[in-house]
Structure 1
């Protein structure tokens, strides 16, 4: 599978619902953690001027993730625009490598003072393209 590993974690019992599999709210949390790792990998640190804001999530739940499962999330840049990027995060079982879920996320580079999208700086563009 293409992509860069951005998260490796373990599904705890408290991640699970009464049916014994990971509740949907925790998928987004894990995909969000993976996104922050991706941003750290390109050298971004949020300051008082700029950050990143997710504007769309599309999640596909492909197979149950029971408690006790070790999962790996890989992240792949799908599209890089002037002010936004689209990243596909894939969650797989660490032991079997079977795909369990995918999240496609559209994120904008965000001017925190103007409160609107801003052009992605070239330094980040270059690092994103290299992943």
Structure 2
């Protein structure tokens, strides 16, 4: 996943999108990023996908991006293919934010502003998003 041997920030990584294409995360420099693990079979997925879509719609024009990374690692709650995950997110939850290929989430490289539990409602972190956008 890393594009350099000693990354200093998330912008130093290149990752695969859901279609298998390389995405250099430096394209997100200057944006406020919410990097989130998603799982279709997680009990909270309906509300989380819905609230992620609400946050994205509300702040995308102010420099806010959501980078969603499906992961099977935590309780095997994401059995679908990357294409199936994108289809579900787009059709059922109207997600327009970027959904990447499946990853393992236990890597700690990069600078993290906040960490939240899987049960944290995306709307509950809206203040953090606004603060980072400079509108709080």
Asked if TM exceeds 0.5, the reply is no
Flag the structure with larger Rg. Answer: 1
**Which of the two has greater helix per residue?**
2
Report the TM-score, using the length of structure 1 for normalisation.
0.23
**Which of the two has greater strand per residue?**
1
